[in-house]
Every structure is written in structure tokens, then in C-alpha cells.
Amino acid sequence: MQETNDDIQRIYEDPRFKELVAKKSGFANLLSVIILGAYFAFILLIAFDPKLLGIPVVEGSPITWGIPMGVGIILLSFLLTGVYTLRANGEFDNLTKEVLSEVQK
């Protein structure tokens, strides 16, 4: 499909497109706040209570709580990326198809 300026303008004015943009932005912002909150909490914990992160997970173990917490933040990033991808491939793609089908009429 060759898009013209009129097609693009119709897409921008479509209420479903506006809904799509609002949902995608809101969801992406929510996930960003969650991961940034986790990162900043970890950094603040390092800054203000480093001894807590230095406590061994099991007495006598060389692995301290800082390691699983750091790995947990990385895993949280992967998890949130997966959550976004699932929603993008489902709800967001369906809205995109609806908008495009309306423009192609």
C-alpha cells in the first residue's frame, strides 16, 4: 500500500489510533517506572545500607544478598520486556490492524 498524506492524516485522526498511542505510551511508562524504581532502590540500598547486601545468603557461603538481588533486577528487566512483547503482539497489533484496515477502505 502506497500511503499518501491524506492516509497518514486519517490515521492520526482515527480515535482507535489515539487509543493505541495512549495505551502503548501508558503501558511503556508504567513498565519503565517499575524497572527504574527497582534499579534506584538497589542503588540507594548500596549507598545507604551496604552491609545488608554483604550478608551471606547462607552462613559460611561466599554468595551475599547483593548477588541475587542484582540478578533479580536483571531478570525483572527480561520479564517486563516479555510482558510488553506479549501485549504488543496481542492487543496493540490488533488495534494497529483495525486502524490500517479502516484507512485501506
Could you tell me the residue range of the domain that residue 89 belongs to?
5-104
DSSP letter string over 3-72? --HHHHHHHHH-HHHHHHHHHHHHHHHHHHHHHHHHHHHHHHHHHH-HHHHTSBSSTT-S-BTHHHHHHH
pLDDT at 88: 94
The conformational region for residue 60 under phi > 0 = left, psi -120 to 50 = alpha, else beta, is left
Q: Kindly report the average pLDDT of the chain as a whole number.
A: 92
Report the candidate in 75, 85, 96 with the shortest Cα–Cα distance to residue 20: 96
Amino acid 2: pLDDT: 59
Q: Does residue 1 surpass a pLDDT of 80?
A: no
pLDDT digits (tens, 9 = 90+) for 83-101: 999 999 999 999 999 888 8
pTM: 0.81
Give the pLDDT confidence score for residue 104 in this predicted structure: 77
Structural domain count, the chain: 1
**What DSSP state is assigned to residue 1?**
-
> 50-64 pLDDT, tens per residue?
999 999 999 999 999
Q: Report the C-alpha gap between 21 and 86 in whole angstroms.
A: 17
